[in-house]
Structure 1
Amino acid sequence: MVRVAVLDDYQGVAAEMADWTGRLPGAEVRFFTSHIADPDALVAELAPYEVIVAMRERTPFPAEVLARLPRLRLLVTTGMRNASIALDAARDRGIVVSGTRGLPGGTSELTWALILGLVRGVAADDARIRTGGWQESVGLDLAGRTLGVVGLGRLGARVARVGLAFEMNVIAWSPNLTEERAAEHGVTLATKETLFASADIVTLHVVLSERSRGLVGEPDLRAMKPSAYLVNTSRAGLVDTDALARALSEKWIAGAGLDVFDVEPLPSDHWLRTSPRTLLSPHMGYVTEGGYRVFYEDAVEDIAAFLGGDPVRTL
């Protein structure tokens, strides 16, 4: 009998999102609904399992953790990229790492939920009306404003298309972005300096790597208009956190919409929980019913294929 651990099932829905019993007859599957942050506690809980399913990068698997899980044979990550798994160490230990497909729309849709929530003060207005208040704020028109898209890949391009539909002026930049690719998506290539200085909304859609870590620093935030907003649904490491804290407290920018954080789940005493002019989402970009069904159905398929001797979607 193979033992399977499904981690970070925060909403308690993984069991109903795929046919675990039918596709994995005889397997013992346990769903963990609470995050295990401490590495020692994580190893103690996972020591009996041959198969582990990780939800995105919620739980890191560095080399030192993998070395303490001698029974582990298959590690499945939802999505086809996971910077929190030490792939070389897994390979050295004979651990197969498989990924899953995903849906592209969720994160780009949440990006626009944050943008619209910021410029129209949706959360503040909701709180105000529930305590007996009424109109106090004035919203920002999007038509004619400038949307700055940092990273024009699969997600950034989707976000850009919506900006064009709102009749915004859309500009884009990334280290490797070409004028031809920008034109393919109907947007204008800008320099990094021009984008941060001229955009009314800057939205980040770059993959986090050692090269892109800290991509948005104090000079970039200081260059933004005091009326501009920063939105990050990509990775927290793209932004200098200390600089962002100063930008918000000293009003270099109008506000920020964030779905990603340096530490997740966000600690109860984290400064962002009380930071002004922020709209916060608990890393929900990929958390949709459709996305979860693809993740978990593919995870079951990965496990079945592995047990059948023919692993699929290996990383």
Structure 2
Amino acid sequence: MGGAGHCNGTVQIKHHGVWKDIAFGYYIFDPWTLKAADVICSRLDCGSAVNAESGLSGLYMDFIWAISPYCVLSTSTLMDCVRTNSFEKATMFLTCSDSVKLVHGSSLCSGRLEVWSNQPWCSVCEEDLDHNDAEVVCRELGCGAPSLLQGALYGEGEAPVWTSELQCEGNESAVLDCRRSSSAGKTCGSGKAAGLTCTDPGGVRLVGQLSHCAGALEIQYQGVWRLVGDQHKKWNLKYGALVCQYLDCGSAVSVTRREDSKYTLKWWVSFPCVKLTSGLWDCVGLDGSNYASSGVDVVCSGTNEHKLCLKLNSP
């Protein structure tokens, strides 16, 4: 509601016959993420989730519906995730892409390309997608520059083949702003549906040590670098392995909780989200950062220090 189209605006849900805004940031221990918001975009038959921000339900606190983002990621029935006891002021203003999405990828910035143009979602033939087209797709999805174009990388879909061919110049803000030529009757051979990987718009790094493969975990989100909090003691080797993989630093050797001398703003990461994706950026809590005194230290096998220790202790 209140957006430029049905793919952006304040999110409402009808429950017990009543339409109400949904609470944003109600579940502190499992924050809303772009990955969870993507489920709502899909329900609206829109593209991928691009951004979500907190809004206001009114001048005063009022009862609004709440939806558990953990539940949203683990079930296909959205209504099973509604809670009716939320007394909140913050609501969700969600922006989905209107005409493009990447499906079956490891993050919101990778997958098989599908487009919408006054018809059901359609696959795009690999031969019809060039670098300029990919630049526009990644930009519309709020991702970084394209890094890989490859057919069959994300499986073959059931979507029909798009009957147009993109002719983007590369500077358009959305796919449907590009010129298109008709290719009616075109079919894609097996394994020829276009797959695309864009770089994440954020970043991950380990700081405070001599090696870039060890140190305190920081994530860049919304253009801001902050330490990652571990108030609930959930970071372990499994999640640390994703950090090491992202940094091309081998496997995780240790993941430890670090106590700071004072509370500072830190990003939160949703672990139910991390379990379903290898992307860390789209699992950062959308309801902002929180104050915490605990952080996360990660050591990967790619560190020079660890390799030296292994050599010194070898027979």
TM-score normalized with structure 2 length: 0.24
Q: Which has the higher strand share?
A: 2
TM-score normalized with structure 1 length: 0.24
Q: Which has the higher helix share?
A: 1
